[in-house]
Structure 1
């Protein structure tokens, strides 16, 4: 049963509480085959046409790690200024859900491939905010459920569900931040800027198209409030699978107001997953959120550990492209444009990730502020 509560104003929420965020971003890698088998990852195929005994979890089917997936994970870790593990391994994350044909997800738990990094993000007024990265680890995506017969497209109220396992096993990188503190009233803006900068970085690396509208990049927004002057974090909620930059900002803002309303009324925040609704900008309860021990992680017995050589890591580091933020700042100076005009050109997709006019793929030059160029 859903309980309705009147939100407090955003200003009143910030007057009493400090927001603390944690952002978990899942990125589908653009590999030709899945993470642990040779099935195609091509988008738009007939349902359940890109499956095999391995990605369906049939008895006796053994997985093999996708080398390009590991390479992409290392590139992402390096670009996020992470340490790259000399030795890591996969684990089984056990939980039952219909879109998990194996009843476990092959992931990484206490031994991720990349850890302890950061990403600097620039806010609209030019302020740079550093987001600390806890880890970036490899895992596989789940299948896709289609709930039929209900008004919302969700399982509640549906008459039946259809399952497509084409997506099951597609390589994922999950990037998890450390608790983001100190953003204050700008917390939703920081969340949006972080996901935007991360998307640009992923695209620049060439490891994924990171199309949020297609589910290639999805963000879970964890948020809690703590009263001013307290050190202990409050209970968090996790808004799942937010798939646009605007929605990330709106979800964080709504949850700040909702948490404050519950706490002000003497209620208790439930640690749970929540669904974001684009039409209303609100969230609703999903399910009680598990703790790590509830997943009964244990090392994956069918996969050998991953031990990237230091020579390989340094070779990949040497081939990294210029960071998007550094590139934008460099181009601003070279083109002598202000931050507002640069943002306008970005918003209009006036130049590509290499920093040149879209039409003129040869010589790079500053496009007009209107995003129209005569060189094509």
Structure 2
């Protein structure tokens, strides 16, 4: 069956200092509910909104980075609906004159690159937050926190060109990367990116799934909804046009209400805000646009001689790419890329740590020191991994960890002596090797590794053992 998915992605411009129409701080995430509020964001009578100029600059920068056409004039509208998290009874948003139109994001799928076209990008204020005890379907009451009410949002709307839940997740991840490169958005903050997903299957009505708060949640919600709609159609039933909620506790969608039409919101221009002319903002944004992921990927390959595979991974996180460049200026870039991508990144992920944290926990300069010891053969691969784990878990200086854990590599002369000893003390393994059982050499390598408490290089040890055994055959 033909599946069509369109996403409405609400991105909070949380790197700004204040809300969209008032001077309340956006640094509210660790504070008590309803402490970052004022008459404007609470919608009290007589309170007048004043547009945050920095929010417009950030929004234009995002639109340009997403290849959208920023409109010369944009206006704000009132989107009228009544809900407890909307204190004014309407949301200041944009309707027929949005900030930008069009645009696209290119994702990499199993079948190659795919372009996800955008329909529009517009600015709006964030509603408050409803807090339920339990799930939305079982809670007896809800609490309201207006701290985020009025926070600056961008709504990025795709065309219905996404054809699977996995593609939706790939798109969201690519969008997150672009936004982090622009430094207008912190994905680690709660509520930073929320998604409304619209999905339809040929022969059925369009269903909207509201306020999904994670990429995994989007994939799970869409997967469930596809199965639900297919089952309805197979039984000859109609898929009704409606709005549903994703119950994360049970990984299902539940019906909320019949789907609103645009006319239900009774849009009309916001009388307290003047039109915004964007030409000046466009010039500023163009001058401030940073190096984007694809550009950085090509430069890393060109300047450092690393592979496409490694470069693709490094640019997934601007902080990881920055970390790599600091290290690669001091040691072999290919060695740096291999250790950072294949080992260090995995150790950070295992501990739910980011590269932003890595700059403080394991400074790039210390990583350089560790890799230089490795390249000088003063520490083995196993030793490097051990130092990384100890430092991330317990802290300490690189040299102190190596000294304390006795991780300095054994001199080659000592390894040669131990290899001779292994052969002399294990005649049966030697005979097995002579008889064609080549895996017997592994037993002798193990003897040396045990004697050195893992400080000998396994590959080098195996090479020496085999050379000695071959001379005996």
Q: TM-score, normalised by structure 2?
A: 0.67
After the TM superposition, list the runs of 4 or more consecutive aligned residues in structure 1 that deviate by more than 6 angstroms: 361-364
1:100 aligns with 2:93: no
Deviations 1:181-228 (A, max 9, x none): 6x4xxx2221111100000011100111123x611011111110115x
Unaligned ranges ≥5, structure 1: 1-16, 228-233
> What is the CA distance between 1:354 and its match in structure 2?
4.5
1:263 aligns with 2:233: yes
1:172 aligns with 2:148: no
> What is the CA distance between 1:327 and its match in structure 2?
2.8
| Partner SS state of residue 209, structure 1 | coil
Question: In the superposition, relative to structure 1, how do residues 206 and 60 fare at CA in structure 2: closer, same or farther (>3 Å)?
Answer: same
Question: In the superposition, relative to structure 1, how do residues 243 and 70 fare at CA in structure 2: closer, same or farther (>3 Å)?
Answer: same
In 1, are the aligned partners of 2:199 and 2:208 still within 8 Å (CA)?
Answer: yes
1:76 aligns with 2:62: yes
Distance in 2 (CA, whole Å) between partners of 1:114 and 1:256 is: 31
> What is the CA distance between 1:286 and its match in structure 2?
2.0
Distance in 2 (CA, whole Å) between partners of 1:332 and 1:20 is: 36
In 1, are the aligned partners of 2:315 and 2:321 still within 8 Å (CA)?
Answer: no
> What is the CA distance between 1:279 and its match in structure 2?
4.5
Distance in 1 (CA, whole Å) between partners of 2:149 and 2:230 is: 38
| Partner SS state of residue 10, structure 2 | strand
The higher-RCO structure (CA 8 Å, 6+ apart) is: 1
1:195 aligns with 2:172: yes
> What is the CA distance between 1:126 and its match in structure 2?
6.8
Distance in 1 (CA, whole Å) between partners of 2:42 and 2:105 is: 36
In 2, are the aligned partners of 1:254 and 1:283 still within 8 Å (CA)?
Answer: yes
Structure with the larger strand share: 1
Other-structure match for 1:11: none
> What is the CA distance between 1:338 and its match in structure 2?
4.9
Question: In the superposition, relative to structure 1, how do residues 298 and 363 fare at CA in structure 2: closer, same or farther (>3 Å)?
Answer: farther
In 2, are the aligned partners of 1:189 and 1:249 still within 8 Å (CA)?
Answer: yes
Question: In the superposition, relative to structure 1, how do residues 176 and 272 fare at CA in structure 2: closer, same or farther (>3 Å)?
Answer: same
1:20 aligns with 2:4: yes
> What is the CA distance between 1:359 and its match in structure 2?
7.5
Other-structure match for 1:307: 277
Other-structure match for 2:51: 65
**Higher alpha-carbon deviation: 89-98 or 328-337:** 328-337
Q: TM-score, normalised by structure 1?
A: 0.83
Other-structure match for 2:184: 207
Structure with the larger helix share: 2
| Partner SS state of residue 194, structure 1 | helix
- Residues paired across the two proteins, number: 340
In 1, are the aligned partners of 2:124 and 2:152 still within 8 Å (CA)?
Answer: yes
Q: Which of 106, 110, 113 in structure 2 is aligned with 1:128?
A: 113
Unaligned ranges ≥5, structure 2: 345-363, 370-473
Q: Which of 18, 28, 36 in structure 1 is aligned with 2:21?
A: 36
